[in-house]
Structure 1
Amino acid sequence: MSRKARLLSAAFAAVFTCGLATGAAQAKEYTIVYLAPSLDISYWQWVAYGVKTQAQKLGMKYIEMTSENSPSTQMNNARTAVTRGVDAVVIGPVSSTSTPPLLRFLKDHKIPVAFTGIGPAPGQTAFSSSVTANNYETGVAEGTFICDQAKERGSNKVGMLSLPQDRENAQKYLKGAKESIKAGGCDLVQILQTHGLTVNEAVQQANDLLTAHPDIKAIYGMYDEAATGAAKALETRGLIGKIAIATADGSPTTIKLLRDGKIQGLFLQEAVGQGIDATQQVYNALTGKEVTKELPLPEPLVTKDTIDSPETQAKIKRVYPPSAGAY
């Protein structure tokens, strides 16, 4: 081989080696952890599906941990995740009020954080993104809808089955609902907050509403199990259709109830979509791409008449995964 050929070969090898090194640097495999408040609730399972699906698409390792609705367990999970070397966190917090110490800890370790479903406490800024529903706007829209439903049935009395009010999303829902219910000329006669987000609890609370206020003609639900429980209570009392029900979220169960005329309105919340978008946001933060701090996803109203439209069907696929049930 001539001297010139040897020099060219060496130069090519150097360029090739440099290219491999650059490619290896660009191909760093990140690890993401999803901190769920509880994996006993289907909603948070569906967020997990979204996080895991998007993580796999982006070539990220996926870890999930449940906080069992305990702020201290949530904090311990964050510490464990950092010890395990995670690069990013997606979290559905136990409550908004539980987030300040967790955010301080993760900021100290320079780990990007994206919230799903429930945002941080007011005034907190040490996070990359908060991917939630447009809770206030949905509260307004659902309040207007349920007030109209009550008046169609001959009363302006409305009851509510609420999420815990230590969550910023629930506070926004309630603010919007109160404003629009009042503006519509209706009376929100009682608000009952859930403690466990179970159908059995919602059945009991709906019965309590109906016993204390037999003149109500509509029930505003803030979460999926609220509508399921309320529908069970109405069916037992022979009141299906005579008292209207609307709720946020959406599931195979409430979609069937909507089709059967047992509830009148669903405001679809993208559990899977929130997981997907939150994962994308922390990945963007890790890779120097643009990050959106506040990302409120619309919750459109769906009724029996619109459930089978192409737009609604596309939306539902971002609410829950195929494994959860039919669309």
Structure 2
Amino acid sequence: MVKPLEQYQIYDRKDVHDVFDPLSNFTPGTGTWGLQGIVKVPNREKDYVFFVTFGQKQADHSFEEEITGDGILTWQSQPKQTLANSQIIDFINHDYLTENIYLFLRTSRLNPVTKKAQPFTYLGKLAYVTHDIERQQPVHFKWQILDWDANAALGSLDNLSLASTFIEKIEEEERSSVSNQLSFSEPPEPVERRGSNTRRFQGRHVDFAENTSKNKALGLQGEELVLVWERQFLIDAGRPDLAERVSHTSVIEGDGAGYDIFSFSLSGEPKYIEVKTTTGGERTPFMMTINELAFSQKEPDNYVLYRLYNFNKQTNSAKCYILNGDISMQRELVATQFKVY
């Protein structure tokens, strides 16, 4: 019986083999699936499985490894791999929308009862963030763990002893979060896939993975937070008459209007607000329907997109930046689905 792949669940190497390569033989402790850290998925050109063991050494080499509270994984390739290696080139050019890298992680600490190696925890798929262009053998990467939920991960990682910065970052974010509040910032610059020098690589914590973007409950929380903020903004600005007329369009009409909230500028002009919410960072890609995009092009003078990121479900708070007007003129659009006739 094949154990289905589920984020934050426990798997041994045979479990993973049975998911991705069930027609081949599995031998514990040897062969591709029984031993290797990087395994190419058969018949899938650029899909890989990463078996990562924190605290492991190879010869005299100790790996640099970390997971931050944002789900950024610091990872190193095999010690002999260079920037010219074909696998490394695949990783640098990895497109998480069309290719898959699956992360299974554990520590080198033995099970206290059996005295055997711990099983792996499946943490999710990965998306390329950056790599160090100055170091190789091994090559240093940063990856974003997709659909990352820090609190869910903490609850499922009983068999792991992750880098202390992971736990510290989560606690710091929870302490600094103010309930029911939006914190505004400027929109980020587009991501460049050029790699980083060593100094920038070590300080890089770019989060650009699509993170719970399809979670309707999270999306509704974000919309309600913006709804409250819009009404209070109009009241504080002396327009309670307009505040009373602000409406939650996506709830009243359902999806399809092309925007989520109907509000007003201080002069009384209509404001059509779309809200996109993720728990990931400011560079997390977000999904738009063709209807939403078309509406931003039809009403560029009155269209506003509130981009909520680092959403904290416990405190109902988020950071936010705003995009005004035609979204296609400001951001790169990538087709991820097609309607087939």
TM-score by length of 1: 0.31
TM-score by length of 2: 0.30
Higher RCO structure, 1 or 2 (CA under 8 Å, sep 6+): 1
| Bigger Cα Rg | 1
More helix by share: 1
